[in-house]
Amino acid sequence: MTGARWIPKAALFGGAAVAAAGVVTVALIDPKAAAAGWLAGFAFWSQILIGSLLLLMIHRLTSGRWGDIIAPALAPAVASIPLLLVLAVPLFVAIPALYPWLGHDPAIKPDVRSDYLNTPFFIIRSVIAIVGWTVLAIALSRMTGRRGQLVAALGLVFHCIAISSIAIDWYLSLEAPFTSSSFGASVAIVELIAAMAWAVLISPQTEGDENVGDLGALLLAFVLGITYIDFMAVLVIWYGDLPHEEVWFVERLISPWPVLAAGAFVLVSVIPVFMLMLSRLRKSPTALRLIGAGVLIGLALYDAYLIAPPFGSFALVPWLLSLIAIGLGLLGWMQSGAQSLLHRMRPAHVQ
């Protein structure tokens, strides 16, 4: 873990504990806001970890120097995926505060609520997804060659199924019956963006390495993908005059949500697209780190925009605290427990 090696692990874990205590304090005041803030923070960091696994599987199938460059960043993140089971526990506990379908929302069909949107099945689906990602992370760390490629191929199929379910559960069911057929793909692309932005930010890239430009090109492709998919979703819903879905957007026209949306759009789409179009910047590790940092901030704003509005602007307080608590805890873990996996996974990247 190169990005935060200079920070003592005790300081990282201590800061995480203080921020987590802040979330607990907010929960005593407003449990729903605290739950929404934790979910938004959890979603952001899980995107980096799961996205790193996606990049690892893609590289295992396609190879290329680009994967070797970011291996030191991907390996600790992938090794941290098992922690998602622990970090998801507050989410499971907070289901009554988060999801309206538990309160027999009349907008949700009774058969959907009884057969799909219920607490036991929600938890089972989430656990299956996280355990599946964990198994893939462990398997890929121990398998090379054709066996590793087979695992990667099967893992990508599993992820396509899992993320389609998780995207509905963690995000869309907050405001059921709002639906979006492209949302699963949107979340998957965001994961790739988050992982690549994280990788270019903390990887020990070398100035003058001609392969660094591949990282910028991949990030540009991912950013263009999410811009297109989200734009088309808004276009279809808004101009298709679908009132039951337009409400989702109308709710987010109230301050401060337009500010978060604008910030996310500028940092995740506008700035990266215009900067990464320039070959000189695309091949510069320094420029990529700046772009990566901005993209990560924009994605954090984007997650808050998706999750927090139904719970009020006060939810932004526990959101910030959750980002800090989970982030510092993961950085501390990556400095310690994840390091052994880094050395085991390196040969799998360099083929």
Question: pLDDT (tens digit, 0 to 9) for every residue of the chain, 351 residues total?
Answer: 544 555 778 888 899 999 999 999 999 999 999 999 999 999 999 999 999 999 999 999 998 888 888 988 999 999 999 999 999 999 999 999 998 887 766 667 776 667 778 889 999 999 999 999 999 999 998 888 888 899 999 999 999 999 999 998 899 888 876 777 788 889 999 999 999 999 999 887 666 677 888 999 999 999 999 999 988 887 777 776 666 667 777 888 898 999 999 999 999 999 999 999 998 999 898 999 999 999 999 999 999 999 999 999 999 999 999 999 999 999 998 877 555 544 444 444 443
Separation CA 102–CA 99 (nearest Å): 6
- List C-alpha distances in Å: 229 to 132, 233, 298: 27, 6, 17
Place of tokens 């979603």: 43
Residue 1 lies in a domain: no
Residue 3, domain member (yes or no): no
Q: Give CA–CA dist 107/99, Å, rounded.
A: 13
pLDDT at 242: 66
Q: Residue 124 contacts by C-beta under 8 Å, 6 or more apart in sequence?
A: none
Domain assignment present for 176: yes
Asked whether residue 4 is domain-assigned, the answer is no
Q: Choose among 73, 108, 314: nearest CA to 204.
A: 73
**What's the pTM?**
0.90
Helices 212-239 and 65-79, axial angle in degrees (round to 10): 70
Examine residue 25 and state whether it is found in any structural domain, yes or no. yes
In 3D space, the residue among 197, 168, 192, 169 whose CA is nearest the CA of residue 182 turns out to be 168
Work out how many domains the chain is built from and give that number. 1
Cα distance between residue 6 and residue 21, in whole Å? 25
The answer to the question of residue 338 being in a domain is yes
Question: Which residues fall within 8 angstroms of residue 141, CB to CB, at 6 or more apart?
Answer: 75, 78, 79, 341, 344, 345, 348
Element (H, E) at 281: helix 279-282
- Per the CB < 8 A criterion, the answer to whether 224 and 273 are in contact is yes
> Which stretches of 152-248 are assigned E, i.e. beta strand?
none
- Cα–Cα distance between 219 and 222 in angstroms, integer? 5
Which stretches of 6-118 are DSSP H helices? 9-29, 31-62, 65-79, 83-87, 89-93, 95-98, 110-115
At 323, list the tokens: 């980002």
What range does the domain containing 246 cover?
9-349
Would residue 232 count as lying in a domain?
yes
Q: Residue 289, class by beta-carbon neighbours within 10 Å (0-12 exposed, 13-18 middle, 19+ buried)? A: middle
pLDDT value, residue 350: 40
Whether residue 2 lies inside any domain: the answer is no
Torsion angle in degrees (nearest 10) through CA of 347, 2, 339, 80:
-100
Length of the chain: 351
> Would you call 132 exposed, middle or buried from its count of C-beta atoms within 10 A (0-12, 13-18, 19+)?
middle
Give the pLDDT score at 266.
97
Residue 199 in contact with residue 72, Cβ under 8 Å? Answer: no
- Residue 351 DSSP one-character state: -
| Tokens coding 116 | 């799909």
- The pLDDT value given to residue 256: 94
Whole-number Å distance between alpha carbons of 334 and 275? 30
| Chain centroid offset of residue 206 CA | 27
Contact 38, 167 (CB under 8 A): no
